[in-house]
Amino acid sequence: MQKRKTGFTLIELLVVISIIAILTAIGVTQYSNAQKKARDAKRIGDMKAYQTTYEQYYATTGGSSYDTCGNMNVDFPGGVPSDPKSSNPAYASECNTSNYCVCATLESELGNSELGTTDCLGLYGTPSKFFCVQNLQ
């Protein structure tokens, strides 16, 4: 009687390793996309914080004018929001006493500047990647 060999064949091992490699590649891609979406959510939140701060300033000054972009540092209690990927306040802005426009470049989502929802078109860069806020008054 012949003794049966136990263990895995080379083909079985290669199939299992291939499946693990495919699942790992999918997982890494999904993780990377989730990180981009989280950073974009923070950028959008920062833009809304800018808008809220500007509108509060406008309301507390009796509706006479908006603050200029350079003076906004004192209006944010925790300091000016910075980009989550780099530590600079890397948001495009254009401000004067009658209006403002502040934009953030998004990584994975379509911004609102290409859709005609803002008057901030052409601030700089690719318009479809920007999320912009502007004066409400």
Tell me the pTM.
Answer: 0.70
Is 93 among the domain residues? yes
Is 40 among the domain residues? yes
Is 18 among the domain residues? yes
Q: Are strands 92-95 and 130-134 parallel, antiparallel or unpaired?
A: unpaired
Is 84 among the domain residues? yes
Is 78 among the domain residues? yes
Is 5 among the domain residues? no
Number of domains in the chain: 1
State which residues form the domain around 109. Answer: 10-134
Mapped onto helix, strand or coil, the DSSP state of residue 104 is strand
Is 1 among the domain residues? no
Contacts of residue 79, defined as CB under 8 A and 6 or more positions apart, other chains included, come to 73
What does the pLDDT look like over 48-101, one tens digit per residue? 888 888 888 788 877 666 666 666 655 676 777 778 887 665 577 777 777 778
What does the pLDDT look like over 27-55, one tens digit per residue? 988 888 888 889 889 888 888 888 888 88
Is 2 among the domain residues? no
Cα-Cα-Cα-Cα dihedral sign, residues 72, 63, 92, 94:
negative
Nearest-Å Rg of the Cα atoms of the chain is 25
